[in-house]
Structure 1
Amino acid sequence: MSHESQQQIHEGGCACGAVRFRAVGAPIRVGMCHCMTCRRVHGSAFGSYAIFRRDAVAFTGSTREWQSSEQGRRHFCPACGSVAFMMYADRDEIDVPLGAFDETGLFEPAYELWCIRKEPWLPRGVRPEYDEERTR
């Protein structure tokens, strides 16, 4: 049995099903982001992501891309507009939105970013919070 076949496979996709993904193994980390871009992209108070190595996630279907920050590139389904994933030019990582997975409850965020933008009605102190980006 190969090493890959022993690892869990998590699948998901966009709202209309035109873009699908398969993530192998556990994410590097899982976090929540309250930055204005994540808020606007998700149409919600925050975005939640499972961050994997790029080679651990494979996509089918075509996406469109836009530059959301100096290093960040967000990919989305051109048919329904759902966020498919985010990559950074300077990191070997891919951020997959938790809401895009077929199963719920797979991963729990371990930290929160951009808490200077966090809604006051959200609970504080549940997990480590960073005013802006997380320190490495």
Structure 2
Amino acid sequence: MTTRTGGCLCGGVRYELEGEPFLIGICHCADCRKESGSVFVSYAKWPIEAFSCEGSYATHKGRSFCPDCGGRLFSLHERDVELRFGSLDEAPATIGAPQHEGWIKRREAWLAPVHDATQNAEDPPPA
């Protein structure tokens, strides 16, 4: 089984993930832009039982980050963890391409749609 590790910029928060994600996506919504300081967020979701974490993190509106360095990390939900790709120790090239692209009505005109990904103007319909 694949194990992936990651954490924040200062190393105060470390996490581990077992197995493969069940969803890979990017989001162009205003909240993701503000959180990341970029024009979109890339993320993947794993079942919550595949996730373990050490260190103290803070959470604002469901988005967790390191209180010391501010590194954005994940969003914890009842059944899954939505992990920010940039917090992985290794580049996510082996995980695969995004399967979903959300809030495309806010996608920058100079960004092309992700090939073969579902396209949603706003949030996707509930699973």
TM-score (norm 1): 0.85
Question: Are 1:42 and 2:36 an aligned pair?
Answer: yes
Cross-structure match for 2:4: 10
Residues 1:111 and 2:100 are matched in the alignment = yes
Counterpart amino acid of residue 52 in structure 1: W
Partner-residue secondary structure (3-state), 1:55: helix
Residue aligning to 2:85:
98
Structure 1 residues 31 and 119, CA, compared in 2 at 3 Å: closer, same or farther? Answer: same
Q: How high is the sequence identity, in percent, across the aligned residues?
A: 34
Greater displacement, 116-125 / 56-65: 116-125
1:74 Cα deviation after fit: 0.8
**2:121 pairs with 1:134:** no
Q: 2:113 aligns with which of 108, 124, 128?
A: 124
Distance in 2 (CA, whole Å) between partners of 1:16 and 1:33 is: 26
CA distance in 1, matches of 2:98, 2:114: 13
Aligned equivalents of 1:96 and 1:102: distance in 2? 12
Return the index of the structure with the highest Cα Rg: 1
**Matched residue type, 2:80:** E
Report the 3-state secondary structure (helix = DSSP H, G, I; strand = E; otherwise coil) of the residue aligned with 1:51.
strand
Q: Does 1:53 align with 2:43?
A: no
2:19 corresponds to: 25
Q: Does the 8 Å CA contact 2:101/2:114 hold for their aligned counterparts?
A: no
Q: Which residue pairs with 1:81 in the alignment? A: 70
- The structural deviation recorded for 1:129 is 1.0
